[in-house]
Amino acid sequence: MALLTLVALAYVGWKLYNAPFMRHTGLYALGSLLVFWFSASGGMYNIIRGMPLYTYQNNKVVWWLAVSATWADTSSRLRGMGYCLHRCSIWTAAYG
């Protein structure tokens, strides 16, 4: 069963790799901007330092953002978005 799943996933991956929409550079530009925003806004730092994605409070599972939604959290997300907007404006000016 595992071998069949592996072969099926390889086949689907090969078909996706050769699909026409995968040749558009805009798709890769959007992906790189999302990775840049995630890294610049502190999301990567939270993963590296081992911050859990959820915690327990009053016998209920609480997502980490609901627990630590402070001004510093919001500020880092906005700073990451500012970086992305700045890079997009430079790219637009350079490649128009």
pLDDT digits (tens, 9 = 90+) for 7-60: 999 999 999 989 998 888 888 888 888 888 887 777 777 666 766 666 777 888
Per-residue model confidence (pLDDT) at position 59: 82
Name the range with the highest mean pLDDT among 7-11, 65-69, 77-81.
Answer: 7-11
Structure tokens at 12: 């689907």
- pLDDT tier for residue 95 given thresholds of 50, 70 and 90: confident
Per-residue model confidence (pLDDT) at position 53: 63
Report the alpha-carbon distance of residue 90 to residue 96 in Å, rounded. 9
Tell me which residue of 84, 52, 82, 83 sits closest to 67, measured CA to CA.
52
pTM exceeds 0.85, yes or no: no
Strands (E), 1-96: 54-57, 60-63
Q: Is the pLDDT of residue 66 over 90?
A: no
Query: In whole angstroms, how far apart are CA 93 and each of 20, 81, 86?
Result: 28, 18, 11
Q: Is the pLDDT of residue 69 over 60?
A: no
